[in-house]
Chains A and B, each alone.
Chain A
């Protein structure tokens, strides 16, 4: 199970930190992802982090503004979002990688946390 939190209403240019707490599986064994869905739009991958934090990737749309991290002691995944823009408004999901590679897909998803960027 994955449970996201930290969403809310924020002004453009400000920052927000999302959290995702994992349970029911060995968090340390899997890569994790953030995926978002803007209102009326499709799914957009945002960032991912390997099981040991050695490999991190970002979508071009958030590179340099968002930072993904994880804390194995807390079974938690984070997304630090800075310099927020109107277009960052979305429902943000965390998702677990199904196995050791992309061939496994994202097999567990949270219910999402909503971020609204507005003045």
Chain B
């Protein structure tokens, strides 16, 4: 199985900050990398598919990049509604999720 790691595991930030979350795969997954946002009591939400494809309705402050084994999710200007846990997911083989990065208010 392909293992996914994320860093940091948590971060504290303020509204307006730019943040970057890193995701690494245990072997190359080419561009089979998706990002999800998950808030308590809510269903996970697909933000980005195929590394950088922003889903319909997702604000442009979210962006993704990377290839092979190393990927990033960037939020250019954090908004109050962005405080959540973010998961990367590979779908190159049987899907696996990263352990998550929790973004909370500083």
Q: List 21 A-B contacts (CB under 8 A).
A: A35-B44, A42-B87, A42-B100, A43-B38, A43-B87, A43-B89, A43-B100, A45-B96, A57-B94, A98-B46, A102-B32, A105-B49, A106-B34, A106-B44, A106-B46, A107-B46, A107-B55, A109-B43, A109-B45, A110-B43, A112-B43
B-side interface residues, number (CB < 8 Å): 26
B41-56 CB contacts (< 8 Å) to partner A: 43-46, 48-50, 55
Tell me the minimal C-beta distance from A39 to chain B in angstroms.
12
Residues of B whose CB lies within 8 Å of any CB of A are 1, 31-32, 34, 36, 38, 43-46, 48-50, 55, 85, 87, 89, 91-92, 94-100
Q: Is the CB of A103 within 8 A of B99?
A: no
- Asked if A28 CB lies within 8 Å of chain B CBs, one says no
The list of the 3 closest CB pairs from A to B, nearest first, reads A102-B91, A109-B43, A105-B49
Which B residues are CB-close (under 8 A) to A88?
none
Residues of A within 8 A of B98 (CB): 42
CB pair A109–B44 under 8 Å, yes or no, is yes
Chain A residues lying within 8 Å of B100, measured Cβ to Cβ, are 42-43
Per the bound structure, the CA–CA distance linking A42 and B36 in Å amounts to: 12
Are A93 and B43 within 8 A (Cβ)? yes
Smallest Cβ-Cβ distance to B31: which chain A residue: A103
Q: Which residues of A contact B99 (CB under 8 A)?
A: 42
Interface size class of A (residues with CB under 8 A): 20 to 34
Write out the residue numbers on chain B whose beta carbons fall within 8 Å of the beta carbon of A44. 97
Contacts of B92 in A (CB 8 A): 102
Residue of A nearest to B94 (CB): A57
Give Cα A57 to B36, complex, Å: 21
Inter-chain contact A104/B97, CB cutoff 8 Å: no
A103 and B97 in contact, given A42-B87, A93-B44, A109-B43 (Cβ under 8 angstroms): no
Best-buried of B50, B87, B98, B100 by chain A (most CB within 10 Å)? B50
Task: Closest A residue to B47 by CB, please name it.
Answer: A105
Find residues 99-119 in chain A having any chain B CB closer than 8 Å to their own CB.
Answer: 101-107, 109-112
Which residue of the partner chain, among A45, A102, A107, A112, contacts B97 with CB atoms under 8 Å? A45
